[in-house]
Amino acid sequence: STNIYQLTEEQLAVRDAAREFAQELWAGVIERDDHQKFPTEQVKKMGELGFMGMMVSPEYGGSGLDTVSYVLAMEEISKVDASCSVIMSVNNSLVCWGLEHYGTEEQKQKYLPRLCSGEIIGAFALSEPEAGSDATSQRTTAEDMGDHYLLNGTKNWITNGTTASVYLVIAQTNPELKSRGINVLIVDKDMPGFIQGPKENKLGIRGSDTCSLMFTDVKVPKENRIGADGFGFKFAMQVLAGGRIGIAAQALGIASGSLELSLKYAKERKAFGVEIAKHQAIQFKLADMATNVDAARMLCLQAAADKDNHDDYAKSGAMAKLFASKVAMDSAVEAVQIHGGYGFVKEYHVERFMRDAKITQIYEGTSEIQKIVISREILK
Ligand code: CAA
Ligand code: FAD
């Protein structure tokens, strides 16, 4: 159909490369999900292919691509394995993007090349046991000790929690300044006083590792702070605005993957003497899924284009995530229905898509939080 976004040859080539690579992810995906096995080899390969630092400048070892290309690649990888794509999303849009845009030259040189190559993985730590949606009420403290910060507290639900080597940790330095007293610090895994909790046993994205982080009197040198004193909350909001586009694309991929498997199955499976695709009830489900997937893709590409064109993307990114995550959930549920009893067992993948879809309505801001962001923007 008409290329309304006028995707360039390069963008289409990135999509095709991601699609081709994603086929490799089918192997072992059920086992990784079953055993909560981290996709170590797959992430290494993603690094080699340039998918771990897609938007980073080649100067720092990145692929130097735009957000549209990133969205296209995220969709393709998420069509097969959303555990791999969340690892990719956090590394790309939170960690690398945050470091490249706000880090010092030394910080960029020290971390970006290895983050882009897949040699090391990054994590982003904002949420706490008692501060999720209400992200300004940080309890983790980074006390200013002159030449270093003393970090104390607990972070919860951290993606790449045990596998990361570098963590961007948000913490409160001046509580009386509320959100303006928060800092973001680069914490290395081997800093004394820093430990990771056990892996959470999750409903979905079970291949990605999620855990809590505990900091007890961790001495973080001042040069590990990103941005000016008190910039931490703004930093978090800025990286999340872009991160939400990545998660929207992940949701889109889960939805389009559900649709693709359903189309194939509906043409193979027979009931009452015909392929089930000949029953109008099934056709209508497929029509709804296809319409929603296209609409979700348009919102994702719109948000990505806004970011690439330096237009405001907080609203369009939130809209893309809000809508695509609902489409992911609905499409995956319908995919299971179309597969009947076969949909309920692991071999057909759609039950995994249904479990994986749910997280896209929760992390990087719940759907309710996206509505807060959108309504504030439109009521301005
Ligand atoms: N860009 C820059 N600054 C922003 C901003 C943005 N997009 N949004 C807000 N800010 C600034 C505000 O301007 C304000 O600054 P000033 O005081 O200097 O004016 C400051 O941040 C505080 O903003 P609010 O008063 O709006 O704060 P709030 O308490 O009302 O909360 C919120 C706003 C949007 C609800 C925010 O708390 C939020 O986004 N919550 C959800 C948290 C979240 O998304 N967590 C995700 C964790 S990471 C993750 O989940 C990764 C993963 O799974 C893979
Ligand atoms: P709460 O904030 O307690 O919300 C509970 C419910 O109340 C939700 O439905 C919420 O939408 C609703 N609610 C809250 N406030 C309002 C309001 N004002 N209006 C209407 N409804 C409201 N965090 C990180 O920092 N880094 C990560 O890498 C990361 N990875 C994650 C991976 C997984 C698998 C999971 C499960 C979470 C991850 N998170 C991460 C945390 C995630 O971002 C939070 O779980 C999320 O932001 C919601 O916070 P909460 O769990 O504390 O829920």
What is the pTM assigned to this prediction?
0.98
Answer whether 122's CB lies under 8 Å from 115's CB.
yes
Q: Over the stretch 244-257, which tens digit does the pLDDT of each residue have?
A: 999 999 999 999 99
Per-chain mean pLDDT for the chain: 97
Q: Which ligand is nearest to the CA of 208?
A: 2
Q: Over the stretch 259-300, which tens digit does the pLDDT of each residue have?
A: 999 999 999 999 999 999 999 999 999 999 999 999 999 999
Q: Over the stretch 15-42, which tens digit does the pLDDT of each residue have?
A: 999 999 999 999 999 999 999 999 999 9
pLDDT of residue 5: 83
pLDDT of residue 378: 97
The torsion region of residue 42 among left (phi > 0), alpha (psi -120 to 50) and beta comes to: alpha
Give me the catalytic one of 130, 176, 364, 368: 364
Please report which helix (H) or strand (E) contains residue 199, including its range. none
ipTM score here? 0.99
- Give the Cα separation of 370 and 320 in Å (integer): 9
Q: Where are the alpha helices (DSSP H) in the chain?
A: 9-22, 29-35, 40-48, 67-78, 82-89, 97-102, 105-117, 232-268, 280-308, 314-339, 350-359, 367-379
Q: Which of 64, 73, 38, 42 is nearest to 116 (CA)?
A: 64
Is 364 an annotated catalytic residue?
A: yes
Question: How many A from CA of 250 to the centre of ligand 2?
Answer: 17
Residue identified by tokens 């720092």 is 60
Q: Give the position, in ligand 2's atom list, of the atom nearest the Cα of 131.
A: 52
Nearest CA to ligand 2 atom 5: 133
